């Protein structure tokens, strides 16, 4: 087994904050409102930034820092996994990376929170009281800039005087970000990410995933009856697995999968394991997700990594065998999932010809 966790450093929040404040002052003519604040990882409350944004206004969040989930196991995340925002009482959104830019959908005060996916009760930002908080140390230093101009123009100006290099990082992220295939969107509970996009392989469209020290879930909504004839089929090309050890523990739970979501809130994920035996099933080891998610190993090992393979699953039989209890009546979503925050290895895969079907209907999820 090789240690593939990239070097991660803890920054001095005082120097980062000073650098951001100085650069905001120098670019003040492009900025309508700004602030710099520290978000402690052990605080559950939403923090009011003091910046009021207008509907349609572009806003950039520039974060630096480390949040420790376990120093013993060297499990740590950055703003791409834990920085959330909302405007007024609107819906919550997650930063797409360490830095992000968004267009406000309403007028209101901008609020920030430092939380992990899976702890939300709903999309307004209430925490689920049945999910125990995961112990976290550290925090994020976050610069907020509500722009007078277009965000790219403001970031260009800011980058010229930004010693933290966060403005340049956000410019590069914006310019390299690519859209999802038609019909897909980010699952609200996990938030936005740049690890998925539409691409082309061998002359045909695919849904591509490239994930390092990150995580994400995208969803294609469906409404298909669940019965004995219901099947999910797909083709996938896995180029790199994000784990070299069994993925069924919290500290090694890095994987690539396709999943189905049911009307009762449960989901069943079909994943490619590095070492676990075929048809192994287990509940998700991440706190909060163990209530709703079950995993089944449908491919294992390195032998077919790098080649296109096809899989087909009888969804109801899998639900009965792996989840159990009274089964739901409908499938309401198809998901693509990627996780690599624990070991911070790279995982890469491409998906195509995704079809959910039964005797009475067929949904070509695509691409």
Query: What is the tens place of the pLDDT at every residue in 79-98?
Result: 999 999 999 989 999 999 99
The sign of the torsion formed by the CA atoms of 284, 185, 173, 122 equals: negative
CATH classification of the domain holding 333: 2.60.120
Global confidence as pTM = 0.95
Domains in the chain: how many in total? 2
In a domain, 74, yes or no: yes
In a domain, 135, yes or no: yes
SS3 183: coil
Closest CA to 335 of 285, 275, 282, 266: 266
In a domain, 100, yes or no: yes
Residues 285 and 252 in one domain: yes
Predicted confidence band of residue 251 (pLDDT cuts 50, 70, 90): very high
In a domain, 6, yes or no: no
Which pLDDT score, from 0 to 100, does residue 5 have? 60
Predicted confidence band of residue 134 (pLDDT cuts 50, 70, 90): confident
Which pLDDT score, from 0 to 100, does residue 346 have? 98
Residues 6+ apart with CB under 8 A from 141: 11, 13, 16, 17, 20, 36, 37, 38, 39, 63, 64, 65
Which pLDDT score, from 0 to 100, does residue 185 have? 97
Which pLDDT score, from 0 to 100, does residue 298 have? 98
Residues 129 and 260 in one domain: no
In a domain, 72, yes or no: yes
Residues 33 and 139 in one domain: yes
Residues 230 and 358 in one domain: yes
Residues 112 and 237 in one domain: no
Residues 139 and 273 in one domain: no
Residues 208 and 146 in one domain: no
CATH classification of the domain holding 110: 2.60.120.430
In a domain, 8, yes or no: no
In a domain, 360, yes or no: yes
Query: What is the tens place of the pLDDT at every residue in 16-35?
Result: 999 999 999 999 999 999 99
The sign of the torsion formed by the CA atoms of 104, 106, 109, 111 equals: negative
Q: With a cut of 50, say whether residue 7 has pLDDT above it.
A: no
Closest CA to 24 of 171, 110, 174, 148: 148
Which pLDDT score, from 0 to 100, does residue 58 have? 98
Residues 349 and 208 in one domain: yes
Residues 161 and 193 in one domain: no
Residues 169 and 225 in one domain: no
* Of 145, 176, 207, the domain-final residue: 176
Domain that holds residue 79: 13-176
Residues 166 and 41 in one domain: yes
Query: What is the tens place of the pLDDT at every residue in 281-296?
Result: 999 999 889 999 999 9
* Of 176, 194, 218, the domain-final residue: 176
Residues 265 and 167 in one domain: no
For 127, which DSSP code?
Answer: B
* Of 113, 145, 176, the domain-final residue: 176
In a domain, 2, yes or no: no
Query: What is the tens place of the pLDDT at every residue in 288-342?
Result: 899 999 999 999 999 999 999 999 999 999 999 999 999 999 999 999 999 999 9
Which pLDDT score, from 0 to 100, does residue 11 have? 74
């Amino acid at each position: 087994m090789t240690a593939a966790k990239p070097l991660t450093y803890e920054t001095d929040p005082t120097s980062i904050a000073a650098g951001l404040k100085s650069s905001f002052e120098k670019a003040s003519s492009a900025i309508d409102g700004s602030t710099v604040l520290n978000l402690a990882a052990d605080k559950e409350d939403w923090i009011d930034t003091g910046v009021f944004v207008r509907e349609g206004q572009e806003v950039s969040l520039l974060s630096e820092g480390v949040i420790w989930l376990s120093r013993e196991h060297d499990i740590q995340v950055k703003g791409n996994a834990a920085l959330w925002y909302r405007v007024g009482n609107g819906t919550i959104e997650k930063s797409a990376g360490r830095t992000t830019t968004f267009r406000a959908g309403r007028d209101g005060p901008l609020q920030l929170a430092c939380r992990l996916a899976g702890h939300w009760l709903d999309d307004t930002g209430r925490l689920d009281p049945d999910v125990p908080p995961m112990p976290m140390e550290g925090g994020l230093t976050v610069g907020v800039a509500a722009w007078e101009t277009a965000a790219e123009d403001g970031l260009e100006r800011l980058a010229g005087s930004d010693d933290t290099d966060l403005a340049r990082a956000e410019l590069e992220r914006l310019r390299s970000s690519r859209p999802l295939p038609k019909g897909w969107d980010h699952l609200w509970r996990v938030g936005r990410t740049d690890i998925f996009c539409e691409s082309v392989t061998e002359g045909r469209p695919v849904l591509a995933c490239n994930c390092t020290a990150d995580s994400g879930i995208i969803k294609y909504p469906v409404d298909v009856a669940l019965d004995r004839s219901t099947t999910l089929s797909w083709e996938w090309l896995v180029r790199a697995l994000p784990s070299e050890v069994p993925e069924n523990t919290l500290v090694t739970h890095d994987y690539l999968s396709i999943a189905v979501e049911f009307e009762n809130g449960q989901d069943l994920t079909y994943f490619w394991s590095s070492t676990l035996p075929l048809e192994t099933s287990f509940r998700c080891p991440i706190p909060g997700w163990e209530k709703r998610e079950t995993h089944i190993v449908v491919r294992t090992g390195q032998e077919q990594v790098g080649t296109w393979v096809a899989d087909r699953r009888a969804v109801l039989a899998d639900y009965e065998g792996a989840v159990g209890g009274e089964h739901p009546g409908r499938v309401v979503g198809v998901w693509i999932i990627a996780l690599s925050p624990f070991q911070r290895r790279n995982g890469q895969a491409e998906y195509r010809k995704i079809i959910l079907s039964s005797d009475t209907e067929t949904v070509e999820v695509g691409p």
